[in-house]
Each structure stands twice: as structure tokens, then as C-alpha cells.
A and B are shown apart, each in its own frame.
Chain A
Amino acid sequence: DTAVSQTPKYLVTQMGNDKSIKCEQNLGHDTMYWYKQDSKKFLKIMFSYNNKELIINETVPNRFSPKSPDKAHLNLHINSLELGDSAVYFCASSQGLDRGLAGVVEETQYFGPGTRLLVL
């Protein structure tokens, strides 16, 4: 049983195209995330949703749009792809936000296998 799954695993596309990456978790978690990992392995948070509500929206080009149809799914749509979008995109989920400690992230994030995006 895959806990956090992403599709596709590999994505090769031309500049200017629009593409989507799908993420699903079967852990019953409330919170989901999208990260971008560049070629130097640096991990950057892009978005986070808690119970379908956007809670983190980092400085990301508005060509990137997340969508959460339900709390088990968080998809990432990218418009007008650029060369610099080439990276590995990770989806993650966590049980939820620790409301008792006012916003401190307690819950462990579990990651999907990643989607390797190459823009030509």
C-alpha cells in the first residue's frame, strides 16, 4: 500500500506547455504539501493545504496553481512551462497542524516518490 503517491513519476515536456502532477495520500492526513527540489537538492516549500484550505502559499510564480478536490488529493497544475521549472516535485502529507501549540509543526511529513520534471 503506497501511503503518498504521485503521478507521473517522470514528465518530459516542451517549453510553453501546460502540465499537471497528481498527488494522493491514503493515510487519512489533513495536511498536504508541494515541494520543489532543485538540482542542488535544495528543498523549497511551495504550497500547503489543510483540509482543502490553502495555508502556505510561498513566493511561487502564479503559473503554478494547486488544487485540492478533497483532503486526500492535492494536484499541481503548471501553465506555460519554462526551462527553470525543471526539478523534482515532491508531494507530502502530515496528520495535521498541532493546534495545541499554536502553529508549530509537530506532525511528521511523509513524502511521495517525487515527479521528475524536465522542460526542454
Chain B
Amino acid sequence: AQKVTQAQTEISVVEKEDVTLDCVYETRDTTYYLFWYKQPPSGELVFLIRRNSFDEQNEISGRYSWNFQKSTSSFNFTITASQVVDSAVYFCALSDSNYQLIWGAGTKLIIKP
């Protein structure tokens, strides 16, 4: 069965520290997609990135970077030089073959000033 595990329920760091949010997935599909979403305290769900299973290149977007490793079934998200505005719940999700996204439980990230 497909599954997404975000083992870190909550992470708290001081501003400017780097932080990595872990995402481990299980799937039998050979083709799949992985996603990260951000849910700030205001409540909306904001799309951050989509990655397909054939592309293991790491992605960098400003202070955000993603490390996709099929060998370990992981798709980890790193924020460099964290800022208070990064405080949010972050969700990792996996596509399945039934037209659905399988969602992780989310990691609450607290950035302290």
C-alpha cells in the first residue's frame, strides 16, 4: 500500500538556522509524483514543488531545496537560513494510481526569532 511518512511532528529552530524536513514514501508504482505543500498559520495550502520519479536531480529555489533519493524512498526538504515567515505546517504527498494524493501527516515548523 502507498504511504507517506513525515516522522517529525514538530520542529523548532532559531531564525537563520538550516532545517530539514523528512519525507519517506512507499509505493509499488514505477511512475509516481511527489509534492510538497506549505500551510502557514493563515490556513491556506500553498503548492511548493512537484517531482516525478524519473528525475532525481535536486531542486533549489532560493532558500528552499529538495533532495529526492529513490534508493531510500525519500524526498526531503531543506530550508536554509530559516526565517520567521517559514513557520508553517509542511506536507509531503505522493500520487497514487487511483487519481489521488497520499498525504503525510505534516510537520509543524516553528522558527523562533
A residues adjacent to B (C-beta < 8 A): 31, 40-43, 45, 48, 50, 55-56, 88, 90, 92, 97, 101-106, 108-114, 116
Contact = CB atoms under 8 A, between A and B. Distances in A.
Nearest to A110: B47
A104 B47 contact: no
Given A48-B100, A104-B95, 13 more contacts: A41-B89, A41-B105, A41-B108, A48-B99, A90-B45, A103-B97, A104-B29, A104-B97, A106-B33, A109-B101, A111-B45, A113-B44, A114-B44
Contacts of B33: 104-106
Contact of A108 (B43, B47, B96, B98): B47
Interface in B35-54: 35, 37, 39, 43-47, 50, 52
Given A111-B44, A114-B43, A45 B101 contact: yes
Interface of B: 29, 31-33, 35, 37, 39, 43-47, 50, 52, 89, 91, 95-101, 103, 105-106, 108
A18 to B, nearest CB: 25
B95 A43 contact: no
A95 to B, nearest CB: 12
Given A45-B101, A56-B100, A105-B33, A113 B95 contact: no
A105 B95 contact: yes
B47 A56 contact: no
Nearest to B32: A104
Contacts of B32: 104
Contacts of A105: 33, 95-96, 99-101
Contacts of A106: 33, 50, 52, 95
